[in-house]
Structure 1
Amino acid sequence: MKAILLSAKNQPIQLIDAPMPTAGPGEVLIKLEAASLNHRDVYVQQGLYPGIKLPAILGSDGAGLVAEVGEGVDAAWRGQAVIINPAMHWGENPMFYGADFRILGMPDNGTFADYVAVSTTYIHHKPAHLSFEQAAAFPLAGLTAWRALMTRAGLRTSGLPEKVLITGIGGGAALFALQFAVAAGAEVWVTSGSEEKLSVAKTLGATGGINYNEPDWAKTLLTKTGGGRGYFDVIIDSAGGPGFAKLIDVAAPGGRIVFFGGTTGNITDISPPKVFFKQLSILGTTMGTEREFADMIAFVADKKIEPVIDEIVPLTEIERAMTKMNIGKQIGKIVLKISS
Structure 2
Amino acid sequence: MSSTTIPTTQKALLLPSKGGALSIEPFPVPTLGSGEVLVRLAAAALNPIDVAMQMFGLFIEVFPAVIGCDGAGEIVAIGEGVEGFSAGDRVAVQGTIDMMKKEIHGTYAQYVATPAKFLIKLPDSVSFDAGATMPCTLPTAALVLYNKDENVTGPRLDAPWTPGGRGKYAGKAAVVLGGSSSVGQYAIQFARLSGFSPIVATASPAHAAHLTALGATHVLDRALPAADLEAAARALAPAAGFALAFDAVSLPETLPLGYALAADGADLVVVSPPGTLGEGERKTVKVHMARGLLAIPTNAAVVEELLGALPGMLAAGDVKPNPVEVLEGGLAGVPGGLERVKMKQVSGVKLVVHPQATA
Q: Normalised by the size of structure 1, how large is the TM-score?
A: 0.83
Counterparts in 2 of 1:224 and 1:48: CA distance versus 1, 3 Å: farther
Partner of 1:112: 108
Q: Is the 8 A contact 1:85 1:293 kept in 2?
A: no
SS at match of 1:339: helix
Which one-letter code corresponds to 1:323 in the other structure?
A: E
Q: Is the 8 A contact 1:28 1:120 kept in 2?
A: yes
Aligned-pair identity in percent equals 23
Partner of 1:189: 200
Q: Deviations over 1:140-178 (max 9, x none)?
A: 111111023333223464153421111122221111111
Counterpart-to-counterpart distance in 1, 2:34 and 2:260: 53
Give how far 1:7 is off: 0.6
Give how far 1:6 is off: 0.7
Partner of 1:20: 29
Which one-letter code corresponds to 1:281 in the other structure?
A: K
The reply on whether 1:83 has 2:92 as its aligned counterpart is yes
Partner of 1:221: 232
Partner of 1:64: 73
Alignment of 1:199-210 (within 5 A): 199-210=209-220
Counterpart-to-counterpart distance in 2, 1:311 and 1:227: 37
Q: Normalised by the size of structure 2, how large is the TM-score?
A: 0.79
Q: Is the 8 A contact 1:166 1:190 kept in 2?
A: yes
Partner of 1:169: 179
Counterpart-to-counterpart distance in 2, 1:138 and 1:61: 7
Partner of 1:153: 155
Counterpart-to-counterpart distance in 2, 1:19 and 1:207: 49
The reply on whether 1:246 has 2:257 as its aligned counterpart is yes
Q: Is the 8 A contact 1:56 1:108 kept in 2?
A: yes
Q: Is the 8 A contact 1:61 1:136 kept in 2?
A: yes
Q: Deviations over 1:206-255 (max 9, x none)?
A: 11122343231344224531555x62110011315364333333222321
Q: Deviations over 1:263-297 (max 9, x none)?
A: xx74243313xx24xx3212223125243334334
- Unaligned ranges ≥5, structure 1: 90-98
Counterparts in 2 of 1:285 and 1:306: CA distance versus 1, 3 Å: closer
More deviation, 181-190/290-299:
290-299
Counterpart-to-counterpart distance in 1, 2:171 and 2:300: 28
Q: Is the 8 A contact 2:17 2:57 kept in 1?
A: no
The number of aligned residues is: 319
Partner of 2:63: 54
SS at match of 2:235: helix
Counterpart-to-counterpart distance in 1, 2:104 and 2:169: 44
Counterpart-to-counterpart distance in 2, 1:210 and 1:75: 44
Partner of 2:287: 282
Partner of 2:266: 255
Partner of 2:117: 121
Tell me how large the CA RMSD over aligned residues is: 2.7
- Unaligned ranges ≥5, structure 2: 1-9, 148-153, 159-166
Counterpart-to-counterpart distance in 2, 1:86 and 1:183: 27
Which one-letter code corresponds to 1:322 in the other structure?
A: L
Q: Is the 8 A contact 1:88 1:122 kept in 2?
A: no
Q: Deviations over 1:106-152 (max 9, x none)?
A: 72321111111122232242234311111111011111110233332
Counterpart-to-counterpart distance in 2, 1:312 and 1:328: 17
Q: Is the 8 A contact 2:174 2:242 kept in 1?
A: yes
The reply on whether 1:306 has 2:320 as its aligned counterpart is yes
Give how far 1:199 is off: 4.5
Counterpart-to-counterpart distance in 2, 1:74 and 1:159: 36
Which one-letter code corresponds to 1:171 in the other structure?
A: S
Counterparts in 2 of 1:307 and 1:226: CA distance versus 1, 3 Å: closer
